[in-house]
A and B are shown apart, each in its own frame.
Chain A
Amino acid sequence: MKKFLKKILFFAAPLVVPFVICFFYFGMNSKRKIDNYKFPVTVNKLVIGDSHTRLAINDSLLPNTVNMSQNSEGMIYTYYKLKAFIKANPQIDTVFFGVGYHSFAGYYDDHILLPDISSRYFFVLPLKDQLHLFKNTKSPGLLVLKSMLLGLNNAISSGTKLSFVGAYENYTTKAAISDSSIAQRIQSAYYNKKERSGFSQSNTQYYQEIVKLCKEHNIHVYVINAPTHSKYAKQVPGEFRNKYYTTINNSGVELIEFSGLQLEDKDFLPDGDHVTKNGAAQASNYLREQLSKSKNAIK
C-alpha cells in the first residue's frame, strides 16, 4: 500500500506541482497586471461593454477615449475590470457603458459561465466569484485549462493582448445582411427554442453595480445603445425593450441612442446588431456630435 501511494504521489507530482505553481503565479501575475493597468494620463474616458461597442466605437475618432469593450463580456466581468481600471487611473471621469436590448436577455447567464469567455477573466476575479464559476460552469476542467493558457499568455503579454482587456475592433465582412440572418440572431438572443427567454439576473445585478461604482467615484455614465438595423430593432420582443428602458431610466443615467443615424445595409454585419468598420466610423462621429450637444458636454 505504501508503495502504491508513493507511486501515485510521484506520478501526480510532475503534474500537480507545476500546475499549482503556475496557477498561483498566473493568478498573481494577472491580478498585478490589471491592478497596474495604466492609460496615458490624457485618457479620461472609457468605453466598456461587449462586442456591440467593441465594433461600434472607434476610439481613435473620439478625444481622450479608450475603448475597452470585449466580445461577449458579461457585466460581472466588466464590473471587475472597470473597478481595477478606475483605481489605477484616477483621471477617469467618464464612462460610455455599452448596453443593448440583448444585454438583459437570459442567455447571458449561461454565456458568462462558458469556459471560452470566463477563462479570460478567471484570474482577475475575487476568490468567491472564482469558486462560483468553478462550481457552476459545465466544464470546470476546461475552464481551468483555458485559464492556465490565458494566464500564460498574460504572463508574456501586455496592453490589449491581455485576455481581460478589450479594444476597438476594425471589422469588415463580405457577407450581406439578410432577413434570415437577422431572424437567426433574434432567435438566439431572445428565444429559447420557441419560448421567449427570461431576463439575465447577472447582467441586471451588475448593471446596477457598475452604475453605483461610477457614481461612488464621481464618474459620469452614458449608456450607449449601439446601432442596430431597423429590421432587427423591430423584432426585439417588447418585454426586452420595456426591461431595457425601465432599468436605464430607474438608474438615472443618460442614454445615447443612434436613432438619428442613418446607416445603410452594408454598414451592418449580417446579424443586424453589429456594425462594420464603416458603420463604426459613422457611429463614432455621431456620438462625438451628440456629446458636444449634450448638456453635460465633455471635454
Chain B
Amino acid sequence: MLFNSIGFAIFLPIVFILYWFATNKRLSLQNILLLVASYFFYACWDWRFLFLLVFSTLLDYFTGIKMYESKTTGTKKFWFWFSISVNLGFLGVFKYYNFFASSFADAISYLGFHIDPWTLKVILPVGISFYTFHGLSYVIDIYKSRIVPEKNFVNYSVFVSFFPLLVAGPIERATHLLPQIQRKRVFDYTQAVDGLRQILWGLFKKVVIADQCAKYANVIFNDYGDYSGSTLALGALFFTIQIYGDFSGYSDIALGTARLFGIELLRNFSFPYFSRDIAEFWRRWHISLSSWFRDYLYIPLGGSKGSTWIRVRNTFIVFLVSGFWHGANWTFIAWGLLNAIYIMPSILMKSNRNNLDTVAQGKLFPSGRELVSVLITFSLTVFAWIFFRSESIGNAVDFISGIFSKDLFTKPAILPIPLFLLLIVFMVIEWLGREQKYAIEAFGIKWPRLIRLTFYYVLIAAIFGFAGAEQQFIYFQF
C-alpha cells in the first residue's frame, strides 16, 4: 500500500478512528491494533514476505532477551553474533546475492575463465534494509548495555513494524521509539493538526514535485544518447529535485502519520539542498541513516579520533557502506565513494562541523558567500546523483561526458516552463521554512485564516490535479 494511494486514504482514517475511539482505554489494545494494521499494510504489498518480517522480529526479540540473560560474556557474544549474522545473512541473500554472484563471474572472466553464475529469481522484500537496521540497532544497543530488552513482544513488534516507517524509514532507535510505544499516548490536538499539515506537504512534494520531475528525468536518463549537454544537465537537475521530493515527501508523510497516533519519529530531512558544504548536506539528508552509520559504524571504527589516516579510512568505509546499503550496484558504491571524496577536504581540515546552524539564520536572504557555498554544494550533489540514477557506471560516465561534450550551452530540447515555475515556487516555500521541521510548519501561520485555508486548498487541488499513476517511492527499492 502506497501513501499516495486511495487504499491508504481509506486505511488511515479507519485505523485512526479505531485507535482513538475503540482501543483508547487500554494501551495494550492500541499496540495490538497498530501491529495488526502494520502487518496488513505490509501484506498489501506482498503477504508472503510478512513471514520474513515476523521471523526477523522474532529473531531480534529472542536474541535480545538471551543476550541480556547471558551469564557469561561468551554466551552474550554468541547470541549477538548469531543475530547479526542472520540479519545480515537475510539482507545478503535477498539484496546482494545476485550482485556478488555476477560480479564474481565478471571478475573471473577477466582471467579468461567463464562461469554462468547461479542467480536467485527473487524480488527484493520491500523495506528489508530498513527493518533489518531497526533490529540491528536494537541488538547492538542491548549488547552494549545501552538499553534493556523489551519483554512485551507486541511492543517490540510495533517498534520494528510500525506502518508509517516500515518500508522506507526513518530508521528508528529503540531508545527513541520504544519508550513511546510503552507509555500511554494521549491525543494532542496541536500534534495531530501539525501531523496533517506535514502529510499534506509530504504528498505535495511527492505527487506534484517529485512525480512531475520524474517524467522528464526518466525520459532524459532512458535515452541520454539522444540529447544535448544542456538537456542532460537538466535531466540531472530534475532527478536531484525528484529524489528529494520523493524521499523527503515520504518521510514527511511518515512523520505526520505517526503524529496522528501520538508518536514522534526521528527527523529524516532538514532542507539538505540549502547546505553550505557536503558535511552539512550529510547532516541534513536521510538523517536517520547517516546517524545510524555514525553511531554503529563510524564511532566503533574509531570515529574522528586517532590519526588523519584513521579518519580518512573511517570516512571512506562509512560512505562506501552507505552507498552499498542503497543497492546492489556499482553505481551506488561510486556514488558513496564520490561523496567520501567530496567530504574529504573538510575532514582533513577539520572544518566538517563549521556549518552547524541554518544558512542565513534569521535572515531573508543569504550573503554572497553563503549563496556561492550553497550553489557549489548543490552542484556537487547534482553531479553525484547522476551515478545514483544511472543503470551502470558506463552509463553514468557516458551521461557525464554527454553533458560536457555536446552543446552544453544550447537551448535544451526539453524545457517545461510550467514545471520550472512550479519548482521556483516550491523552492521559495522551502527556503522560507528552512528553520522549521518542515517547510509549511509555520508558513502562513500569521495570515488571515481564510488565506491560509485557501493555501491548503490549493495544495490539495494540486495534489489531485497532478495525481497520475500511483508512483512508487524510490526508496522502496532499498
Q: Which residues of A contact B457 (CB under 8 A)?
A: 14-15
Check B464–A141 contact: CB distance below 8 A.
Answer: yes
A144–B193 CB distance below 8 A: no
Is the Cβ of B187 less than 8 Å from the Cβ of A145?
no
B49 within 8 A of A: no
B465 and A145 form a contact (CB under 8 A):
yes
**Is A1 touching B20 in the complex (CB atoms < 8 A)?**
yes
Are the C-beta atoms of B464 and A11 separated by less than 8 Å?
no
- The distance from the CB of B184 to the nearest CB of chain A, in whole angstroms, is 15
A7: chain B residues at CB < 8 Å are 193
Tell whether B468 is near chain A: CB-to-CB under 8 Å: yes
Q: Which residue of B lies closest to A8 (CB)?
A: B196
Distance between Cα atoms of A8 and B460 in the complex (Å): 14
Q: Specify which chain B residues have a CB less than 8 angstroms from the CB of A8 in the assembled complex.
A: 196
| Residues of B in contact with A, size category | 20 to 34
Asked whether any CB of chain B lies closer than 8 Å to the CB of A131, the reply is no
Cα A140 to Cα B470 with chains together (Å): 10
B460 touches A15 (CB 8 A): yes
Closest to B461 in A: A145
The proximity string for B residues 186-209 relative to A, scoring 1 for CB distances below 8 Å and 0 otherwise, is 010100110010000000000000
Query: Could you tell me the distance between the alpha carbons of A138 and B466 in the complex, rounded to whole angstroms?
Result: 12
- On whether the beta carbons of A4 and B469 are closer than 8 Å, the reply is no
B105 contacts the other chain (CB 8 A): no
With a cutoff of 8 Å between Cβ atoms, the chain A residues found around residue B187 in the complex are 1, 4
B468 touches A4 (CB 8 A): no
Q: Is the CB of B467 within 8 A of A4?
A: no
The answer to whether B463 has its CB under 8 Å from any CB of chain A is yes
Known contacts A139-B467, A141-B464; A11 and B192 CB within 8 A of each other: no
Tell whether A293 is near chain B: CB-to-CB under 8 Å: no
> From residue 429 to 478 of chain B, which have CB atoms closer than 8 A to chain A?
453, 456-457, 460-461, 463-470
> With A and B bound together, what is the CA distance between A145 and B467 in angstroms?
10
CB distance from B144 to the nearest CB of A (A): 40
> Which residues from chain B contact A138 at a C-beta distance below 8 Å?
468-470
What residue of chain A has the Cβ atom nearest to residue B454's Cβ? A14
Is A142 an interface position by the 8 A CB rule? yes
A3 at the interface (CB under 8 A from B): yes
A1 to B467, CA, bound (A): 31
Chain B residues positioned under 8 Å from A15 (CB to CB): 457, 460
Which residues of B are found within 8 Å of A141, using beta-carbon distances? 463-465, 467
- Kindly identify, within residues 1 to 36 of chain A, every residue whose CB is under 8 Å from any CB belonging to chain B: 1, 3-4, 7-8, 11, 14-15
Q: Is the CB of B464 within 8 A of A4?
A: no
Say what secondary structure dominates the interface of chain B: helix
CB of B123 closer than 8 Å to a CB of A? no
- Majority secondary structure, A binding face: helix
Check: B364 CB closer than 8 A to any chain A CB.
no
**Is B468 a contact of A142 with CB atoms below 8 Å?**
yes
Nearest residue (CB) in A for B466 is A142
B6–A140 touching, CB < 8 Å: yes
The closest CB in chain A to the CB of B471 belongs to: A138
Please indicate which of the listed interface residues A4, A8, A142 has the most CB atoms of chain B within 10 Å of its own CB: A4
Residues of A within 8 A of B468 (CB): 138-139, 142
Q: How far is the CA of A211 from the CA of B250 in the complex (A)?
A: 50
B453 neighbours in A (Cβ, 8 Å) = 11, 14
The answer for the CA separation of A11 and B192 in the assembled complex, in Å, is 14
Q: Return chain B residues, CB-CB under 8 Å to A140.
A: 6, 467
Contact between chains at A4 and B465 (CB < 8 Å): no
**Are A4 and B463 in contact (CB-based, < 8 A)?**
no
Within 8 Å CB of A139, what residues of B?
467-469
Determine the distance from Cα of A145 to Cα of B453 in the docked complex, in whole angstroms.
20
Q: Which residues of A from 101 to 156 have beta carbons under 8 Å from B?
A: 138-142, 144-145
- A7 and B465 CA atoms in complex are apart in Å by 24
Contacts of A14 in B (CB 8 A): 453, 457
In the complex, the chain A residue whose C-beta lies closest to that of B6 is: A140
Chain B residues positioned under 8 Å from A3 (CB to CB): 189
The interface residues of chain B lying within 8 Å CB-to-CB of A11 are: 453, 456
Contacts known (A11-B453, A14-B457, A15-B457); A142 close to B464, Cβ less than 8 A: yes
Counting chain B CB atoms within 10 Å of each CB, the highest count among A15, A139, A141 belongs to: A141
Least distance between B262 CB and chain A CB atoms (Å): 11
Contact partners of A144 in chain B: CB under 8 A: 464
CA distance A11 to B453 in the complex (A): 8
C-alpha gap A106/B17 in the complex (Å): 44
> Least Cβ distance of B208 to chain A in Å?
11
Residues in A neighbouring B463, C-beta threshold 8 A: 141
**Is there contact, CB below 8 Å, between B192 and A4?**
yes
Residues of chain A within 8 A (CB-CB) of B189 are 1, 3-4
Find chain A residues with CB under 8 A from B469 CB: 138-139
CA distance in complex: A138, B193 (Å)? 30
Chain A, residue nearest B5 (CB)? A140
Inter-subunit contact B193/A145 (CB<8 Å):
no
- In the complex, residue of chain A having the shortest beta-carbon distance to the beta carbon of B260: A4
Give the residue of B193, B461, B466 whose beta carbon is less than 8 angstroms from that of A4: B193
How far apart sit A140 and B10, CA to CA, in the bound complex (Å)? 14
B298 to chain A, nearest CB (A): 42
Question: Cβ of B467: which chain A residues have Cβ within 8 Å of it?
Answer: 139-142
Bound Cα distance A15, B457 (Å): 8
Smallest distance from the beta carbon of A184 to chain B beta carbons, Å?
A: 14
Which B residues lie within 8 Å of A145 (CB)? 461, 464-465
Give complex CA distance A139, B470 in Å: 7
Residues from chain B with a CB closer than 8 A to the CB of A4 are 187, 189, 192-193
Complex: how many Å from CA A144 to CA B196?
23
Taken together as a complex, chains A and B put the C-alpha atoms of A140 and B463 apart, in Å, by 12
| Complexed CA–CA distance, A11 and B457 (Å) | 9
Contact with B along A78-110 (1 / 0, CB 8 A): 000000000000000000000000000000000
Give B305 Cβ to nearest chain A Cβ, in Å: 49
Q: A4-B187, A14-B457, A15-B457 are in contact. Are A142 and B193 (CB under 8 A)?
A: no
| A286 vs B6: C-alpha distance when bound (angstroms) | 51
Instruction: Give the residues in chain A near B465, CB-CB below 8 Å.
Output: 141-142, 145
Which 10 residue pairs spanning A and B have beta carbons closest together? Answer: A138-B469, A141-B467, A141-B464, A139-B468, A1-B187, A4-B189, A4-B192, A145-B464, A139-B467, A145-B465
- Given A7-B193, A139-B467, 5 more A-B residue pairs with CB atoms under 8 Å apart are A4-B187, A11-B456, A141-B465, A142-B466, A145-B464
16 contacts between A and B (CB under 8 A): A1-B187, A3-B189, A4-B187, A4-B189, A4-B193, A14-B453, A14-B457, A15-B460, A138-B468, A138-B470, A140-B467, A141-B465, A142-B465, A142-B468, A144-B464, A145-B465
